[in-house]
Amino acid sequence: MGLPLQPNKKYIWIMVLKKIVCSIIALLMVNFAAVQLNAQKGGDSKTGTASYYHNKFVGRKTANGETFSNTKYTAACNQYPLGTFLKVTNNKNGKTVYVKVNDRIGHPKRVIDLTHRAAKDLSFTNSGLANVTIEVVNSDLGQRKILAQTNEQGVSDNTL
């Protein structure tokens, strides 16, 4: 019987690197899950400038694959995960709408880009921009509020 084989140094380094990479991936996954959970449970808020979509985007695909419609209560926002429900308040007049994030915004100075329907409800379609506060709400509340807005406004194509 011979002596047991000793792993070479290259093999040891490869195994150490694998463990490090796996640990980093696990930490990133835990962090991402925590961000998703925090965004969905509500309570987080931000203030900034809101704008609304140009009609040229109607019919195009959004970041989550939905077809864009300016009559729905949806929004583009880089601050929260896709699918997050938000309460948006116009700080000038106190009006609010509820929207679902289904796209990403391309303008670095805007906190949110709303559909024309949502911007009209917040009364800033003439000015084009508004100072708003956006607050995360849980998905149950967000869905109920969007459906209520949809029924109140007679919007027929606002599927969640």
pLDDT in tens, the chain (160 residues): 555 566 677 878 888 888 888 788 877 776 655 555 554 455 678 999 999 888 888 888 989 999 988 899 999 999 899 999 999 999 999 999 999 999 998 888 899 999 999 999 999 999 999 999 999 999 899 999 998 887 776 555 555 5
Domain shared by 91 and 142, yes or no: yes
3-state SS string over 123-155? CCCCCCCEEEEEEEECHHHHHHHHHHHHHHHCC
Q: Does residue 140 belong to any structural domain of this protein?
A: yes
pLDDT at 111 (0 to 100): 93
Domain shared by 66 and 116, yes or no: yes
Domain shared by 53 and 82, yes or no: yes
- Find the domain containing 17 and state its range: 8-41
pLDDT at 35 (0 to 100): 53
Domain shared by 71 and 90, yes or no: yes
